[in-house]
Amino acid sequence: MQIMLNGALRNVQATTLADVLAECGVAGRVATAVNETFVPVSARADLRLSDGDRVEVLGAMQGG
Amino acid sequence: MRAFYGTTLANPLMLGTAQYPSPAILEAAFRESGAAVATVSLRREGADGAGQAFWEMIRALNVLVLPNTAGCHTVKEAVTTAHMAREVFDTPWIKLELIGHTDSLQPDVFQLVEAAKILSDEGFQVFPYTTEDLIVGERLLAAGCEVLMPWGAPIGSGRGLNNTYALRAMRAEFPDTPLVVDAGIGLPSHAAAAMELGYDAVLLNTAVAKAGDPVAMARAMARAVEAGALGAEADPMEPRDMAEASTPVIGKAFLS
């Protein structure tokens, strides 16, 4: 399956959002959105991704 | 000092975490400033775990964290960002920024009120980055905000308080609401002036981060907000147009 992960095309084997994050090596405190909709941590294991889905993974950063 | 959603700050300085020459200088500047609140943001996180490292450094500072929605131009974008920030930073506090103008980064106050209502209804404690407009302030309070953060000048401009008349009017109009001058501070005197107006805190970033010596500027800002707050509490004299001799004339020698 091909998805967009943080704006870059990725081929992934996993199907759920939680497994895709693990497959892509994303760990720690992050927040996720799929197709511009927020997906809380508690929903990641049950959320099945589809081909072409846009996944955003955000972490802490410096800000003013 | 007025409490921010029930939290009394140990120090009226809110300091941004962006643009420092190095993480070590950021950390030293924070310690020197005594700032009670650190503003933070969200960006795309990769496998390198940069965000995780930054989060651990902020936690070690032992300050309150105020995540922002910097760079958001629509209600939807800002609300989604707020949800994501709440999960990453584990706080109901959100500095709500809805940018309306590219050059001045002036808030889009219409969308700001709309997003503030949605987020307040969802249990967020919203710190809205707004203009000095009194009616917008009223609408934000009606939307559920319990803090207002008018700009001093455009973000990163360092111009100080562009409209002290309006900021003073805001203080008078909202006597029970915690008010923060957010953005535009360039010098310690600007920060002191905001506190002298009776504001409850000052939020700044670039003035410290982009100073030649950020740690020294952090120290200066800490003393400026303290001096300004003490001055406001001391009930300053009223200015007058003409001179009034401070040295008594009674008993003066006749020598001419």
Q: What is the pLDDT of residues B129-179, one digit of tens each?
A: 999 999 999 999 999 999 999 999 999 999 999 999 999 999 999 999 999
Specify whether B95 is catalytic.
yes
B93 close to A (CB below 8 A): no
C-beta of residue B131 within 8 angstroms of C-beta of residue B106: yes
Phi then psi for residue B13, to 5 deg, are: -110, 125
pTM recorded for the entire structure:
0.93
Spatial distance between the Cα atoms of A58 and B144, rounded to a whole number of angstroms? 27
Q: List domains and CATH numbers for chain A.
A: 2-59 (3.10.20.30)
Which among A24, A26, A31 has CB closest to B87? Answer: A31
Instruction: Report CB contact under 8 Å: A29, B88.
Output: yes
Q: Supply the mean pLDDT for chain B.
A: 95
A interface with B, Cβ–Cβ < 8 A, is 6-7, 24-33, 36-38, 40-41, 56-64
**Tens of pLDDT, residue by residue, chain B (256 residues):** 799 999 999 999 999 999 999 999 999 999 999 999 999 999 998 778 788 889 999 999 999 999 999 999 999 999 999 999 999 999 999 999 999 999 999 999 999 999 999 999 999 999 999 999 999 999 999 999 999 999 999 999 999 999 999 999 999 999 999 999 999 999 999 999 999 999 999 999 999 999 999 999 999 999 999 999 999 999 999 999 999 889 988 888 989 8
Which among B16, B88, B206 has CB closest to A30? Answer: B88
> Under 8 Å CB-to-CB from B249, ≥6 apart: which residues?
none
Question: Does the complex come out with an ipTM higher than 0.90?
Answer: yes
Which among B16, B76, B84 has CB closest to A63? Answer: B16
Phi then psi for residue B59, to 5 deg, are: -60, -35
What distance in Å separates residue B181's CA from the closest CA in chain A? 13
Return the residue in B19, B20, B25, B44 with the most chain A beta carbons within 10 A, the one to mutate for interface testing.
B44
Amino acid identity at A19? D
Instruction: Report CB contact under 8 Å: A31, B42.
Output: yes
C-beta of residue B81 within 8 angstroms of C-beta of residue B72: yes
B60 close to A (CB below 8 A): no
- Distance of CA B3 to CAs B7, B121, B151, B225, B253, Å? 5, 20, 20, 17, 55
Beta bridge partners of A4: A9, A54
Spatial distance between the Cα atoms of B202 and B75, rounded to a whole number of angstroms? 26
Residues of B in contact with A29 (CB under 8 A): 51-52, 55, 88
